Chain A
Amino acid sequence: MINYEKLLHDFPILNNKMQNHRLVYLDNAATSFKPTIVLDAIKDYYENYCANTHRGDYDIAHKADVKYDESREIIAKFLNANKNEIVFTAGTSMSINMIAYGYALQNLKADDEILITEAEHASNVLPWFSVAKEIGCTIKYIPLTKEGRLTPENVKSAMNSHTKIVAIAQVTNVLGYYVDIKTIAKIVHEFNAIIVVDGAQSVPHFKVDVKDLDCDFLSFSGHKMCGPTGIGVMYGKYQLLKEMIPLMSGGGMNARFNTCGEVTLLLPPQKFEAGTQNIEGAIGLAAAIQYLNEIGMDNIEKHETELRKYAISELKKLDNIIIYNETAESGIITFNVKNVFAQDAATYFNSKGICVRSGQHCAKILMDFLGTVATIRASLYFYNTREDIDAFIDACKKAGDFLDAYFN
């Protein structure tokens, strides 16, 4: 069970107002709020052991090393990965770029194929476009069902002997369906290809076990799971990380080099972490993960599932709302108010203190698939309540009068 009274204490922002209404934050797929405990961990680093990591010759530098290392360990445990398979990055986008340039560009040839879907976020599309152009290889789209789902059968039908990489989200950011990564990974490996998983919308919301899924790469961002911005993770199977080329070079990633240009790189994960790292970010993300662990990922998932069910059942009672992903498992609700342009509706929600996002959600291809130029997305997290949903539903009812936002 989630203790809301405790959450109000843990997240001071939940007590805030916006436009003179209680703040109702339903844009968690974009970013999440941060509990004080995360900010305290960051502050502690800066106030008490502010030193650079690697080869510290004094106590506080040693402590920074230990804490940075511990952070990696906490994240590894959270994913059931090995510590040396966790590479710190700036976030999901950087992780996927590192995989595209460090793995795909080195290993693929002109007659190879990369499979993605029309539901992917730009960060899981554009890096592949870029490297495919350089390699001269092909990008193909795995067909989705009429509902917009990705099924193992559809993956299988799209695979062939040229397929080398399958890059898909575990939960897509617009439609919010769960994708059966475990079954798909088996199929992908039968074809001797690798599976690159975008975990940006899954890792924050339910238990993700990389060994159980048997995925080759997994990327996610800290800020969507109560951590700070600018920190994320690229998980990769150790053997693959060893084969990969680092995107960035610099201090902290080489063992030695000489003036003739011979460089010996450190082993993963250090070989990917050139330059002074986002130390506060790593420490903050680890604090966030410990906080999520305390609540329990299963509790978080259960809470969101129940809340979504409630929201959908209430939304379905309204005849001015179009829902695009009624059967989705995640806390993402994509909808429109009939005859109201998405952005106009979102402004109306703002005037009621409700944060939702209008737009194409960076999944421009999908909008062609849905047949609408714009939608509104409400996305839940564990600190959302029935009260939030009630406020949201009440605003939905009146959203036809969206110009009220302009005149009241």
Chain B
Amino acid sequence: MTTPLLKVENLRIALAGDGVTYDAVENVSFEIGRGEAFGLVGESGCGKSITALSVMGLLRRPLSLAGGKIILDGEEIQNVSAAEMRRLRGKRIAMIFQEPMTALNPLSPVGRQIAEMFVLHQGANWNEAMDRAEDALRQVRVPSPERRIKDYPHQLSGGMRQRVMIAIALACGPDLLVADEPTTALDVTVQAEIIDLMAELCAAKGTAVLMISHDLGLVANMCQRVAVMYAGRIVESQVADAIFATPTHPYTQGLIDSLPRLGERARRGRQKLREISGVVPSIANYPSGCRFNPRCPAVTDVCRTIVPEATPLPADGLVRCHHHG
């Protein structure tokens, strides 16, 4: 097998509290090949966003990297200097955030924010960079880009702002695009367009994607492989189609069963939705053993004491459950 583009190994992220340190992310490992789209799914607080931030080298206090390796194209980047990281960000790895209004600079026209990428990373002069910014806007299908480059973020709609974010992120043709809930703030029809656009541009440029979302359906549409996180750990990872056909971890099964599916009522009549009992545990009192155990329908004594090891599944998949299969 060739070297993966991104390899995250035993990542551990610490959250410093009042005199105590919690492990917000523990033992997270995954690989993303060149041009591959990889999805990281989980609920709020499960650690998926901070995993993305750690790849970008953007963890700030009270969060810090407590262990593990982040390897980009064969090189470890978890300890590189801030200056070196700045050179990587934007050029080799880029990020799209959930809320484009807060991620864009409100005081600068969007054309300038795109052009900045060419000036900073490719040494272009401003005139040339502005021309290229216009092209970049055209590529993300913003109508009349020649006028829009002078607009400020507040003059654009949510969908248009997210297109601008994509234009900025893809400006320098990065190898990896990290997309943290890129469409959560958008309407469904706009979401569909933005996802199509991202998928198309990344495929054309051979950009790999690390997609973070709470929406399993969305991730499965866009990504080839999916990992499910729960309370700071990856509990299951599989090929996207397989995760729906044969979900193995009780949490994944619960997530898939608990959501009403279109067409289901017409086929089978209205069934009571299968609930996952209980609530997501808070980081201060994660249960011992398997962290899903208080909510798990198949819980036994071993689940309460021993952390389950990863068991391999077909096609590079894995599951962490004592009772899988």
**Real binding pair:** no
